[in-house]
Structure 1
Amino acid sequence: MPDFSPTELAVPGFVALVLIEMIWAWRKRREAYEPRDTLTSLAFGLGSTVSGLIFGGLFFALFLWVWQFRLFDIGWSWWAFALCFVLDDLKYYWVHRFGHRVRWFWASHVNHHSSQHYNLSTALRQTWTGFMTLGFAFALPLVLLGFHPGMIALAGGFNLIYQFWIHTEAIDKMPRWFEAVMNTPSHHRVHHATNPRYLDRNYAGVFIVWDKLFGTFEPEVKDEKIRYGIVKQLGSFNLLWAVFHEWIGIAQDMWRAPRGSKLGYLLREPGWTHDGTRETSDQIRAAWLARQASDPKPVSSENPIAGEAEAA
């Protein structure tokens, strides 16, 4: 079993690419970077690393314990790792989709979407509270199939490395064959957008084919400017508020809600309320589609988003 972490080895490359992109932004698109926003992203990355060190070992130990109940002995080989990588990416798709469709998961994942800028430093906005969602359980079927926990961790590390480079506006489109199969900056810009047409689309990690297969794919449209962030923007660079604001929101909503509606604020989609006072991403998207059907004019890049929800 390899005794290295691919993400740790990739850190110097991450730093170098961020610096290169900063030079590009200074020459071509200065609004791509904002100093306070970038510092917040770096702080997110540091905090998530600490959180991973604290809780990662516990989850790995749990996986090793579950592995004794495996159905097959798949072992270590190139084909086993390739299969594990593909299946782990399918697992990532569903973890990511739950991260947008269940508020308990969103409270952790929202951290990654909280920046109104889209650059390589945004990729570092990783959660500090992922352990609270128990999302690791999505990987247990791979362990039970017989993939070694170390192989799964290795596949997840390379998956994370791949996703770093797609957080950029410096790359327009990749070759058509690549765009058809792989996740790209164009596809992932859609995922980070708050435009109604783009809400809750393109969940893929590495292979965009999962979105095409499960009906969540949306291509980037050239004549519509993307607005990044979350539908109800933070309006602050306070790090602790950025990390915990959605958990606080859940607690407040559950406290105020009638007894029979409290669990809805945990298990329903972000933006759901028992009295309909806020909108979910599905409702925002449906209203936009209805307007398009009645008046199909090109969308202005300055048009505001209709409604206000807590999903992005």
Structure 2
Amino acid sequence: MENLGKIVLFGTAFVVVASLIEAVVLSRKNSSSSAPFAWHEVWISLFDLVARRLMAFLPLSLATPVFSLAWDHRLFTVQINSALMVLALFIGQEFCYYWYHRVSHRVRFFWATHAVHHSPNQLTLSTAYRLGVTGKLTGSAMFFAPLVFLGVRPEVVMTTLYINLLYQFWLHTTWVPKLGWLEYVFNTPSAHRVHHASNVDYLDANYGGVLIIFDRLFGTYIEERADEPCRYGLVTPTTSRNPFVVEFEHWATLIRDVFSAKSVWIAINHVIQPPGWLPDGGGETTEELRRKGKTVQSGCEAVNG
């Protein structure tokens, strides 16, 4: 764990400095434009980063007992001592990350934390480290427990996850173009721009960490299109500059919906269904938004036809 601490320390210093350099450059570049650089987005991201570092000192985590249970009942004891084992760990971690990320978008309990990462209305490097302070409390790391159950030491799993997240830092940019054949294998800035877009056509796509192959395999890959510029932020944009509102607004609405539900089953569904779900089917889930979009488009075509 000492090595992981050093990696986190140097990694954090690097991403903060790099993001601030980018912020200065973009701020000067956009100073005379109609859409000036939003420095408050950077400050909220820095608040999130500091708050998560402080949260690390709290002995509260749903993932910790799950990891302990998985390690105590592990099937094997794996030594990462060859290139083949490193590759196997990398692919296994990518598989787990894909499903963690997909569930974080499709289950409202996890989305309440993950929505914080998608709340910036501009996409910059500082977006990468706005991850939501409640992640430790919701146990999101338990999605990687299968690797521990197979015999990979927990600290190795967490180090691998951190390296994965460190790779994703550079993906949060608007100024890196498409990268040719790399788009077919790796998660790139272009693919990740789609992931952060709130356009209905782009929702719930491109969940990969380093690789994009599982998105292609499971049908969640969507390519960035020149005729559909990405609009960043949430479907219902976050406009508050108060970091506490940004961090907890989705938890507040979730708790409100649970306690105002007309039955226990409806309350449970508010927790486990996708964000935007309503019991009468008239909500704003991705599927419903796309259905409404097709209905509007069909109506326009009928009128113009």
Q: Distance in 2 between the 1:197 and 1:63 partners?
A: 37
1:111 match: secondary structure: coil
Uncovered stretches (5+) of structure 2, i.e. residues with no partner: none
Give the TM-score taking structure 1 as reference length. 0.87
SS at match of 2:4: coil
Identity of aligned residues (%): 36
Partner of 1:159: 164
Cα RMSD (Å): 2.3
Q: Does the 8 A contact of 2:121 with 2:238 survive in 1?
A: no
Mapping for residues 1-312 of structure 1, pairs under 5 Å: 3-5=3-5, 6-30=7-31, 31=35, 33-55=37-59, 59=63, 63-64=67-68, 66-79=70-83, 80-174=85-179, 176-259=180-263, 260-289=265-294, 291=296
Report deviation, 1:28.
4.0
Q: Is the 8 A contact 2:61 2:137 kept in 1?
A: no
Counterpart amino acid of residue 38 in structure 1: V
Any idea what SS the aligned residue of 1:70 has?
A: coil
Work out the CA distance in 2 between the residues paired with 1:85 and 1:7. 19
Q: For residues 266 and 33 of structure 1, what CA distance do their matches in structure 2 show?
A: 35
8 Å Cα contact 1:181/1:209 also seen in 2: yes
SS at match of 2:171: coil
Provide structure 1 residue ranges, at least 5 long, that are not aligned to the other structure: 297-312
Q: Helix, strand or coil for the counterpart of 1:73? A: coil
Does the CA contact (< 8 Å) of 2:108 and 2:275 recur in 1?
Answer: yes
Could you tell me whether the CA contact under 8 Å between 1:7 and 1:161 is conserved in 2?
no
Change (3 A) 1:56 1:213: farther
CA distance in 2, matches of 1:247, 1:26: 32
**Paired residues, number:** 295
In the alignment, the residues of structure 2 paired with residue 185 and residue 206 of structure 1 have an alpha-carbon distance, to the nearest angstrom, of 11
Q: Deviations over 1:225-244 (max 9, x none)?
A: 21111111222111111111
Moved more, 17-26 or 228-237: 17-26
